[in-house]
Amino acid sequence: MAEDKGVALDWDDEVSDDGGFTLLPEGVYQFQVSGFERKRFDGSAKMAPCPKAEVKLTVMTDTGVETITESLLLNTKTAWRIAKFFECLGFEKDPDTGKIPMAWSRIDGMSGWLKATVREYLKDGVKREANDFDWIAPADAPQQDEQPQQQGWTM
């Protein structure tokens, strides 16, 4: 796997400090898929190497539009999570097999709902926070008259 070495900046370029990630407050958000990349997960002590989809999601928050990246590992241990992602986008299970096709070429521009929670963890002795996302199936998505904690926009 190629190491990200960055790109050279010119002396007159403008820069920002957006190299980190956006931590969403806990709540329910509407999102739109704004792209994805096919990558590779090198494996870990708990999971075999496998393909990885890095999905870009555009999310409306109380402070404006944010783009977040969510990794979906294509491994049998996480197949349930991928199925929930496609289900929240409106894909349906095959009535004969009960399985949902991973139609990656069709997800760009599709929208759904997610529930964000905040998880704390330790890394190098430092307490940090990250989001975990639960995908919300269309049948369970907030209705127009419901007011979730974080209201998205209608796409």
Confidence of residue 137 (pLDDT cuts 50, 70, 90): confident
pLDDT tens digits for 6-34? 666 767 766 555 556 788 999 999 999 99
pTM of the predicted model as reported, rounded to 2 decimal places: 0.77
What pLDDT, on the 0 to 100 scale, is given for residue 115? 94
pLDDT (tens digit per residue) in 54-102:
999 999 888 889 999 999 999 999 999 999 999 999 999 999 999 999 9
Cα distance between residue 81 and residue 114, in whole Å = 12
Which token pair is 6? 């960055």
Q: What is the mean pLDDT of residues 117-137?
A: 91
- The pLDDT value recorded for residue 6 is 64
H/E element holding 55? strand 50-61
Per-residue confidence (pLDDT) for residue 155, from 0 to 100: 45
For strand 64-73 and strand 50-61, is the pairing parallel, antiparallel, or unpaired? antiparallel
Rounded distance between C-alpha atoms, residue 91 and residue 99, angstroms: 10
